[in-house]
Structure 1
Amino acid sequence: MKILVKNHFENATQALRANRGRTFLTIVGVAIGIASITMVLSLTGGFNHLFGDNSNQSSTPVAIVKSGNQKAVPNLLTESDNTTTVNTLTETDARDIGKIANTKAAPIAFLHAELRAREGKVDIQNAALIGSTESLKDVANLQIATGQFINDIGGVVVGQQLSVDLFGTERSIGNVIYIRNQPLTVVGVLKNIENQASYLDVNFNNAAIIPLSVIKKFTQGTPQIQQIIVTTKDHKNLNSVIKSADDILKKNHDSDKNYRIVSGEEINEKKSNVARFLSIILTVIGIISLLIGGIGVMNVMLVNVAERQREVGVRRAVGATGWDIINQFLIEAAIIGFLGGILGYGLGLAGAYIASLYLPLTPYIYWQTAVLSIGLSIIIGVISGVYPAARATRRDPIESLRY
């Protein structure tokens, strides 16, 4: 049996070498489909891994109180819920939640305004202006490169990239930023954050943070708080903290459930849904490409069968069974699928890493991805070779010898 399999393998490789150009193009067809699937799975894994860990960047558990009680619906046209949610949270809510034992709470109030300096300006599409309290430094794990963090007196803390964009330097302490013609002095610059993606929907490298008391001056005395970030010291206490926060909010809002409290995987549910939606679409495209590659394999095998009718006739005449003929052609198809899978997997990984240069994530490689990619290509190859192989055995051996 081993000798027979070895003989089939040698015959298959010889036949494929005899038509190198045709074989190579067929392998490339399979590789394109496998590369698409590999790239999608790797980038999706990196996306999920990034945001799955993002809400746990600190050593303490996190919960987020969000304005409005409507669950976010995945929308590819918006980056966050902040643009569509009615702001129902107040300073009192953040202050009362912060009084829970072993808990810190920081409100987040976004203000859409252009940031100007003498050296230049940054529009609202390229920078985030945030009103918050001193607690934000701890709950968001922010580190100061130079200067200090905000306090109730005033001042503004900027990200390193925003500092460079506005002042041309990372050392901008003492410089003045104008927000709606109101001057604010830079009192601190944040350390650069390598992982720019944030479960708070903020890129702190391009953010300006001012005290909540200051941002009220731009919103008629009432800060537009979109969310309150809550942290506690122990994961075991998170559920009890959430319950206490819920009780406080019910009391403050007269039992009007115009807020949501999310934690764990719920924090990044919208991003995960978008990633899942995109991965499904791209995977379908990859599967279609792979099926086209499979049709290419079938076409090549049909041509091989037509060109090798005399060879088939000779083998049948000397005692080869129909299964022997089928196995030989199936091995050829499997070899094409295997080589296409290896090439496609390599191209897919290369494509994923090239794409990651322009994305705030690193492809995450699962061993299952390699097994799935290569295994699927072999299966497609074998399935595509079944019909041509079966067709090779249908012709009468004597008639085949006339070719």
Structure 2
Amino acid sequence: MKFLLFEHIDTAYQSVRAHRTRSLLTVIGVAIGVASITTILSLASGVSHVVNDQVDQLDGDVALVRPGVDEAHAVDSLLSTSTLQHYSTSSLTEKDVEVIQKIQDDLAVAPLMTLTTSAKAHETTVRGITVLATTADFVQTAAIQLDEGEFIDEATTDNVAVIGTQLAIDLFGTENPIGQRFTIKNTPLTIIGVIKPLKPPINYNMVNFDRTAIVTMARGKGFNGNNAQIQQINVSAANTTKLDELLPEIERRLDEQHGERDFTIVRGEDAARPTNQHYRSIAGAMTAIAAISLIVGGIGIMNIMLVGVAERTREIGIRKAVGASDGTIVVQFLIESLLISATGGAIGYAFGLMAAFFVGALIYFTPAVNWQVAGAALGVSILVGLVFGLYPALRAARKDTIESLRQYR
């Protein structure tokens, strides 16, 4: 049996080698599909590692209060459609912030209110930036640092902003525009600080700080029709133990304030889950699109296998005449199909990883290299080989022995 298997593999190799050009083109078709999927999955896995590492670096000392009830840890992304609907009628208010602050003096409590708009400086307009309205405590509850200047605090006026490095470059062509002015919604703002580039910009707050302008809550409300549409409240304590002790009290006070449980408090890996889910959803959609190229590659396999069956009709007849069973013929052609698809899978995985690291280098991001992605790439390529090679293999096995020998005398 083992000898027969090796004979099938050798026969498949010789057949592929005898038709190098068409086999190579088919391998490339499979490789493109596998490379696309590998790139997407590697980047998506890398996102999870980045966000989880950020949460771990905070040592569990930060809790996030979000609107809505998380019944099964299925917290939506801050940017998802369902959550945006939550935020249009968010149950979180400035009163909630005050309630939490009164529990203990040394708690850092920072509300987050975001909106997307444009910024203008001189003749330059940058569209699609994020405006984040918050308080001075935000620095203690998020993994950001200042490159230049200072952060907003109670002493600053409402017409100031701390901006991201990329936004500074886009508006002024420099990374240090301290003291310069720009406008948002016709309101002039003076820059008092620049955020150090976050590499990569992905984070559990779902804010790209490189293209963000941070303003006071009062100014944020002014941009939003004097409405404090709070989307999240970050709470930080001196250590994990203290926060563990205070969370039940925070929940109790907020329950009293709201009269019902219409909020969720998450921390640790739960804080990272919304971001991970957001990027997994994107990765899933992109993988589905990439799978189309795999189907095309599979059709290519079926095509050349059918051509091979037609060309080798006499060989099939001879094999069956000397005792080869239908099952043996099926296995022979399936192995040939698998050889092509597995080769394409291996090449695609290698090029997919290279593409992932190339993209990662552009955005200061390290993709994940793990056995799950490798297994998915190999598994998908084998599945393609089996599915699209089965019909040609069955067609070869069903050929009549006498007719096969008669056709090619």
Q: Normalised by the size of structure 1, how large is the TM-score?
A: 0.80
Contact 2:88 2:229 in 1 (8 A): no
> 1:189-235 deviations in whole A, cap 9, x for unaligned?
22222222233232222333344466567778875543321122444
Alignment CA distance shift 1:105-1:203 (3 Å): same
Contact 2:26 2:340 in 1 (8 A): yes
1:191 match: 196
1:205 match: 210
Contact 1:66 1:260 in 2 (8 A): yes
- Give me the whole-angstrom Cα distance separating, in 1, the residues matched to 2:224 and 2:349: 54
2:314 match: 310
Q: Equivalent residues in 2 for 1:67-78 (5 A)? A: 67=67
> 1:60-80 deviations in whole A, cap 9, x for unaligned?
432222356699767977697
Contact 1:67 1:85 in 2 (8 A): no
Contact 2:133 2:217 in 1 (8 A): yes
1:97 match: 100
Of residues 169, 175, 181, the one that matches 2:174 is: 169
Structure 1 residue identity aligned to 2:10: E
Aligned residues, how many? 400
Query: How much identity, in percent, do the aligned residues show?
Result: 39
Deviation at 1:386, TM superposition (A): 4.0
> 1:171-203 deviations in whole A, cap 9, x for unaligned?
233334456666554333222222222332322
Alignment CA distance shift 1:176-1:286 (3 Å): closer
- Give me the whole-angstrom Cα distance separating, in 1, the residues matched to 2:243 and 2:315: 74
Alignment CA distance shift 1:23-1:136 (3 Å): same
Q: Do residues 149 (structure 1) and 154 (structure 2) align?
A: no
- Give me the whole-angstrom Cα distance separating, in 1, the residues matched to 2:5 and 2:171: 71
- Give me the whole-angstrom Cα distance separating, in 1, the residues matched to 2:11 and 2:356: 37
- Give me the whole-angstrom Cα distance separating, in 2, the residues matched to 1:47 and 1:115: 28
2:10 match: 10
Q: Equivalent residues in 2 for 1:381-392 (5 A)? A: 381-392=385-396
Deviation at 1:299, TM superposition (A): 3.2
Which shifted more, 220-229 or 303-312? Answer: 220-229
Secondary structure in 2 aligned to 1:200?
coil
Q: Equivalent residues in 2 for 1:228-377 (5 A)? A: 228-251=233-256, 253=257, 255=259, 257=261, 259-267=263-271, 269-287=273-291, 289-318=293-322, 320=324, 322-353=326-357, 356=360, 362-377=366-381
- Give me the whole-angstrom Cα distance separating, in 2, the residues matched to 1:221 and 1:388: 69
1:138 match: 140
- Give me the whole-angstrom Cα distance separating, in 2, the residues matched to 1:370 and 1:60: 32
Q: Normalised by the size of structure 2, how large is the TM-score?
A: 0.79
Q: Equivalent residues in 2 for 1:105-124 (5 A)? A: 105-110=109-114, 115-117=119-121, 119-120=122-123, 122=125
Q: Do residues 81 (structure 1) and 84 (structure 2) align?
A: yes
Deviation at 1:380, TM superposition (A): 3.3
- Give me the whole-angstrom Cα distance separating, in 2, the residues matched to 1:310 and 1:180: 78
RMSD across aligned C-alpha pairs, in angstroms?
Answer: 3.9
Contact 1:29 1:293 in 2 (8 A): yes
- Give me the whole-angstrom Cα distance separating, in 2, the residues matched to 1:284 and 1:261: 33
